[in-house]
Amino acid sequence: MVRILYMIYLWLFFVPIFVVLTILTALTVIIGCLLGGERFFAYYPGMIWSRLACYLALCPVHVKGRENINRKKSYVFVANHQGAFDIFLIYGFLGVPIKWVMKAGIAKIPFVGAACRAAGFIFVDNSTPKAAARSVVEAEHCLKNGASVVVFPEGSRTYTGKMVRFKKGAYQMAADQHLPIIPITLNGPFDVLPIGSLNLRRHCMEMVIHPAISTDGMDVSHKGLQEMAKVTQEIIASSLWEKYK
């Protein structure tokens, strides 16, 4: 009975309001950034939109470890990728301005793609090694301008709730710019909306922000970058709920 009531609430209340909020947020970001307010409009409208998405979906959010972030520094944040609500969880509750490194396909979403471009987010094109390398260069340009970026090193959402092997692109960025890496553990988004599903479910979500890892003196060879990827994946795994391990 509770599930039926929730589905009625979703389709009669959540979905219409979310669509309107998404369009309004996208237009606000586009116009604000075009008028020269990228520093403000690339973050705050999206942050509010993300929080409202979680609240309207009736999904409680718990955050641990915000004290591990120095708001005056730039970071490369790396997180496991459980589902679509990962975006809302990080964007809404991390507490610092960020740029996203995201799949090129998102650029095709009406309003959202244009807003992401206006905000200076980086679209990753993995069609060829050359295109992928160009995406890393674009992300590093954002880092040079004092921004922090968020990367999902798995590359795509999990199909099982469990992590797959991390790729090394995020670690190359961090090493090239001598920026610390902060691993983030996400729990719950897989249960809210997993890949391939439109069946939104009410579920609590948790974000654990781990202490920063320095990249000073890091081995930037292929082996060294993969080792750093392995280390951060183990840190993220340490705070996963048991069913995701």
Tokens standing for residue 125:
């094109």
Answer yes or no: is pLDDT of 140 > 70. Answer: no
Q: How many CB atoms lie within 10 A of CB 227?
A: 15
% of the chain residues with pLDDT over 90: 66
Q: What is each CA distance from 59 to 88, 102, 168, in whole angstroms?
A: 11, 24, 32
Q: Using one digit for the tens of pLDDT, what is the confidence trace for 186-218? A: 999 999 999 988 889 999 999 999 999 999 988
Q: Work out the average pLDDT over 142-158.
A: 83
Provide the residue type at 121 as one letter.
Answer: F
Q: What is the 3-state secondary structure (H, E, C) of the chain?
A: CHHHHHHHHHHHHHHHHHHHHHHHHHHHHHHHHHCCCHHHHCCHHHHHHHHHHHHHCCCCEEEECHHHCCCCCCCEEEECCCCCHHHHHHHHHCCCCCEEEEEHHHHHCCCHHHHHHHCCCEEECCCCHHHHHHHHHHHHHHHHCCCCEEECCCCCCCCCCCCCCCCCHHHHHHHHHCCCEEEEEEECHHHHCCCCCCCCCCCCEEEEECCCECCCCCCCCHHHHHHHHHHHHHHHHHCCCHHHC
In the chain, domain spans: 2-244
Q: Using one digit for the tens of pLDDT, what is the confidence trace for 45-96? A: 999 999 999 999 999 999 999 999 998 899 999 999 999 999 999 999 999 9
Answer yes or no: is pLDDT of 7 > 80. Answer: yes
pLDDT of residue 130: 65
% of the chain residues with pLDDT over 70: 92
Q: What is each CA distance from 194 to 55, 161, 163, 235, in whole angstroms?
A: 18, 8, 13, 23
pLDDT band at 166 (very low <50, low <70, confident <90, very high): very high
Answer yes or no: is pLDDT of 139 > 70. Answer: no
pLDDT of residue 120: 87
Q: Give the global pTM.
A: 0.91
Q: What is the CATH number of domain 2-244?
A: 3.40.1130.10
Average pLDDT, the chain: 90
pLDDT of residue 106: 84
Give the separation between CA 37 and CA 48, rounded to whole angstroms.
17
Q: Work out the average pLDDT over 166-177.
A: 88
User: What phi and psi, each to the nearest 5 degrees, are found at residue 202?
Assistant: -75, 125
Which region among 14-28, 142-156, 178-192, 225-239 has the lowest average model confidence (pLDDT)?
142-156
pLDDT of residue 208: 98
CA angle 108–110–114, rounded 5-degree value: 75
pLDDT of residue 127: 60
